[in-house]
């Protein structure tokens, strides 16, 4: 038997076949969260639930376009 999802967690499949997860209460805004079971899921889900702004990641990865722009 599959595990039940946390409240207000939606699973949507894009037209490209990718799965995206969102937190949404009623007809309110959709807030994107990582997939359940990933390390960041609990923190992102609680932030979406409490209405906090999305947490940002650390410094850009060396060799990426954002890393180049910040340099």
Q: Give the tens place of pLDDT for each residue, 14-25.
A: 999 999 999 999
**Residue 19, domain member (yes or no):** yes
Specify if 47 maps to a domain.
Answer: yes
Asked if residue 11 lies in contact with residue 19, where contact means CB atoms within 8 angstroms, the answer is: yes
N- to C-terminal Cα distance for the chain?
50
Q: State the residue range of the domain holding 39.
A: 1-53
pLDDT digits (tens, 9 = 90+) for 28-57: 999 999 999 898 899 899 999 998 877 666
Residue 28: inside a domain: yes
Split into its structural domains, the chain has a count of 1
Q: Does the residue 70 lie in any domain?
A: no
In a domain, 24, yes or no: yes
Q: Is residue 62 part of a domain?
A: no
Q: Is position 58 within any domain?
A: no
Can you give the length of the chain in residues?
Answer: 71
């Amino acid at each position: 038997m599959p595990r039940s999802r946390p409240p207000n967690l939606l699973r949507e499949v894009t037209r490209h076949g990718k799965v995206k997860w969102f937190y949404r209460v009623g007809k309110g805004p959709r807030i994107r969260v990582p997939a359940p079971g990933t390390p960041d899921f609990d923190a992102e889900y609680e932030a979406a639930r409490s209405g906090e702004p999305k947490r940002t990641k650390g410094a850009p990865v060396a060799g990426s376009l954002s890393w180049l722009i910040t340099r």
